Structure 1
């Protein structure tokens, strides 16, 4: 029940490609490598090389849209979405964590097509070392074994998608299981313009507001930073109104 509570139907996901600004090149790659093989399986039945990947890694600085891309991918592909909270896999009783990891893949197999999304995947599947607790090491091993099992069934449409801003901390065995890797960088000038236009769409703007100038002065800011900047600016209007009352 704990795992099922994190299940989201694609129809209930509010994020789509139109919600994401400045990442058209990544979106196009995901459409080709992930979504098309899922939606048009009839085109790829004669080759195992063109099947959708069993693992997808989104890596880059915080606030650049990795989680939004994962949700939009599930919606556009018509996949059920398990937003896996790693904390539910930990249990005080010996052996229970492995059972919970197994339950994740059992549920995903039954409701496929399905995307299992792990945000900050480096906190869960980081490099293994001799200092790892025995229970943690066993849970990681169980998770990877079950993940490998997805590859034995060519008709299985379960994808593990992870997001991280520390890809170098991931275990090499995990990186091998995520052949589709996409770098989501900080937006450049053109991308910042697109993001600002998306954020300010439908908002009442003064004629003096020049989004091109704002985009130029916002170098080094992520999409999340740009949204927060616009929110703070809008609050000044509220403060001015309160002072005039």
Structure 2
């Protein structure tokens, strides 16, 4: 009888272990935003956001599968249950927190303008405040549904905003002289444009903008509001990654500097 009980207990534990290991978490991402989330020449999904998401999900004892969607469809897709998590370089803002929850931030969230070397644009005053007259009559390229769009509309009403579905199309129009400046994250702009041949003759225009009202405390992994338990698991896993050096290993794969927010 005891032997039978032991066997039944072992079978139950094995079944439970199999169930946990088979747990699958679907992760939504844009998949067109290198070096954060993109598909390589072989169609493999890669990038900083993807590496962070995979490591976090692994620490939850789960397997990660990815769902690619346009950036402006990600929050509606998450809320509708098309995936469980959102890892797409999405800044944590009060407006977005009305719809979804976020993990602790794992990347800083700031903004900067880029334009040609000879640009006469002056988006910020000498003391770092928005300077509407400095962009009057200028056309600014911005990725659609981004925090950058909100900042521009509120602070530069006399500038023309041109919206793009992808950062690559935005940068293509800059080099084709169809826009005067682009406005996006400085890590992205430096990595994918200014540090490459196509970025020769262009530069950052004005200093880095750190406005928590628009750009939040950083970038986080998103989840539905009814998943508080999952949020707690994610935060614990993220903190452990940072503490044990795993996050730094992922970070150093892409940059020679830390992208972790100072608060972490």
What TM-score, normalized to structure 1? 0.28
Higher helix share: 1
Greater strand content:
2
For normalisation by structure 2, the TM-score amounts to 0.27
